[in-house]
């Protein structure tokens, strides 16, 4: 071999660069491996940050009412406010937001008590209480006219808000919404039997919860699953207490009881294989909208309860057509 001192300069420079690159790769591998083993929440956080960047939204905080709200905002055009469901947070909307921000201005909050928004352990987080908090949040943002989109529990909150404060709501989109009369299913019977399907202690329990919400549950490494398990254990008391509130008649049928007060165009969007909120709720929605000037409905195939994650392109197409049509 040629002694290092007699090698041509370009070979010596190349060798140094390759050595540096090799050391860098080794450090990155060690960092990722260490993060996966000892701090998987960092990797999950990095993944969410990448999704937010791809969706062109930025995270903000705002104090309104009794809550410090955490929310995403981004995009240009008509404003859409997206409300998540029970035991979820604002990040579930990121795959859909990627489709929407080229055409719309989106505001995606963590509802009070969930995600990174603040929580008062002594306060109510039922549908009506959340609708009142939402009014404070939207007033603080000074949004004059917007389309309100609610998923699951967020759909009930959106519907109650729209019935009570219709002046700012240009249109209302309800996605697999809670709070309507529907044919009882196995999910309802599980809760009625005293079991809470939203709490779990291990990876098997987390995977079971995913199967309740997704037709094709997302695959993720075990240590990332552990992050969700730890969060669920931390929030268990709040989850159980809030579920008990939502099962009261005034919350369980909160949206059903307000349908006759909705005076804006309304969209009902359901997954055909929703195993949480039976698609028969869509019939209750259509039949109860006696004052809505326009009623649209759409059923997506190939998804369960999470169309914004399982079918983001199709969900965006339906929402875009509805918004532009009204």
Specify the pLDDT at position 49: 96
| In the block, residue with structure tokens 């057509």 | 321
Specify the pLDDT at position 169: 98
Under-70 pLDDT residues of the chain: 1-7, 10-38
C-alpha torsion 191→194→197→199, nearest 10: 140
Domain locations in the chain? 8-36, 39-325
Strand partners for 109: 71
Model pLDDT for residues 25-60, shown as the tens digit of each residue: 544 443 445 445 557 889 999 999 999 999 999 999
Tokens at 228, concatenated: 């969700």
Query: Closest Cα partner for 56 from 116, 105, 117, 111?
Result: 105
Using CA atoms, how far apart are residues 22 and 16, in angstroms rounded to an integer?
A: 10
CATH for 39-325 (3.90.45.10, 3.30.1370.60, 3.40.50.1820, 3.40.50.300): 3.40.50.1820
Specify the pLDDT at position 6: 65
What ranges make up the beta strands (E) of the chain? 58-64, 67-74, 79-83, 105-109, 146-151, 169-175, 266-271, 295-300
Using CA atoms, how far apart are residues 51 and 46, in angstroms rounded to an integer?
A: 9
Using CA atoms, how far apart are residues 182 and 256, in angstroms rounded to an integer?
A: 10
Strand partners for 108: 72
Using CA atoms, how far apart are residues 275 and 278, in angstroms rounded to an integer?
A: 6
Using CA atoms, how far apart are residues 312 and 291, in angstroms rounded to an integer?
A: 30
User: Which residues does 283 contact at the CB level (< 8 Å), separation at least 6?
Assistant: none
Q: What are phi and psi of 216, to 5 degrees?
A: -120, 90
Specify the pLDDT at position 271: 98
Model pLDDT for residues 189-208, shown as the tens digit of each residue: 999 998 999 999 999 999 99
pTM for the complete prediction? 0.89
Specify the pLDDT at position 27: 41
Query: Closest Cα partner for 246 from 182, 173, 306, 188?
Result: 188
Specify the pLDDT at position 7: 64
Tokens at 120, concatenated: 């008062």
């Amino acid at each position: 071999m040629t002694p290092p001192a007699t090698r041509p300069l370009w070979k010596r420079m190349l060798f140094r660069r390759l050595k540096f690159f090799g050391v860098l790769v080794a450090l990155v591998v060690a960092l990722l491996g260490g993060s996966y083993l000892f701090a998987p929440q960092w990797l999950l956080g990095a993944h969410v940050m990448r999704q937010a960047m791809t969706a062109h939204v930025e995270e903000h905080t705002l104090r309104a009412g009794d809550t410090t709200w955490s929310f995403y905002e981004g995009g240009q055009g008509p404003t859409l406010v997206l409300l998540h469901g029970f035991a979820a947070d604002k990040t579930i909307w990121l795959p859909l937001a990627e489709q929407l921000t080229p055409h719309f201005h989106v505001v995606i909050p963590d509802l009070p008590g969930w995600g990174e928004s603040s929580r008062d352990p002594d306060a109510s987080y039922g549908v009506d209480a959340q609708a009142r908090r939402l009014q404070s949040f939207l007033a603080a943002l000074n949004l004059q006219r917007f389309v309100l989109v609610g998923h699951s529990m967020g759909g009930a909150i959106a519907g109650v808000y729209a019935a009570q404060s219709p002046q700012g709501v240009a249109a209302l989109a309800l996605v697999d919404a809670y709070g309507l009369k529907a044919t009882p299913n196995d999910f309802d019977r599980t809760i009625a039997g005293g079991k809470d399907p939203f709490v779990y202690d291990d990876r098997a329990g987390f995977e079971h919860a995913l199967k309740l919400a997704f037709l094709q549950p997302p695959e993720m490494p075990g240590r990332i699953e552990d992050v969700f398990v730890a969060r669920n254990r931390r929030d268990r008391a709040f989850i159980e207490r809030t579920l008990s509130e939502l099962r009261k008649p005034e919350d369980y049928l909160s949206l059903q009881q307000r349908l006759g007060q909705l005076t804006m165009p309304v969209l009902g969007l359901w997954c055909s294989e929703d195993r949480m909120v039976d698609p028969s709720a869509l019939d209750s929605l259509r039949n109860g909208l006696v004052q809505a000037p326009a009623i649209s409905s759409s059923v997506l195939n190939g998804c369960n309860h999470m169309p914004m994650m399982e079918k983001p392109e199709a969900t965006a197409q339906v929402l875009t057509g509805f918004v532009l049509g009204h």
